Amino acid sequence: MKKKRIETQQLVVLAILSAIIVVLQFVSGYIRIGAVSITLTLVPIVLGAALYGVGSGAFLGFVFGLVVFIQGMANLDGGFIQLLMQENAVATVLLCFGKAIAAGAASGAVYRLFTRKRLIAQIEDANGNVTHRILTPERRALAAVLAGAVAPITNTGIFVLGMAIFFKNTTLALAGTETSAIAFLILVMAGTNFLLEFAINMVLAPTIQRVILISKKTLGIKA
Q: What is the pLDDT of residue 141?
A: 81
7 vs 119: which has the higher pLDDT: 7
User: Which pLDDT band holds residue 95 (cuts at 50, 70, 90)?
Assistant: very high
Could you tell me which of 89, 84, 69, 79 has the C-alpha nearest to residue 32?
79
SS3 37: strand
Mean pLDDT of 8-17: 89
| 41-83 pLDDT, tens digit each | 888 999 999 889 999 999 999 999 999 999 999 988 878 899 9
Angle at 110 between CA 106 and CA 116, to 5 degrees: 140
Compute CA distances 79 → 2, 25, 70, 76, 217, whole Å.
Answer: 48, 16, 12, 7, 44
Binned at pLDDT 50, 70 and 90, residue 4 comes out as: low
Is 144:47 a contact under the CB 8 Å cutoff?
no
Beta strands in the chain (DSSP E): 32-33, 36-37, 121-124, 130-134
Nearest C-alpha neighbor of 51 from the set 137, 116, 103, 111: 111
Which domains are delineated in the chain? 2-219 (1.10.1760.20)
pLDDT higher than threshold 90 for residue 177: no
What is the average per-residue pLDDT within 158-177? 82
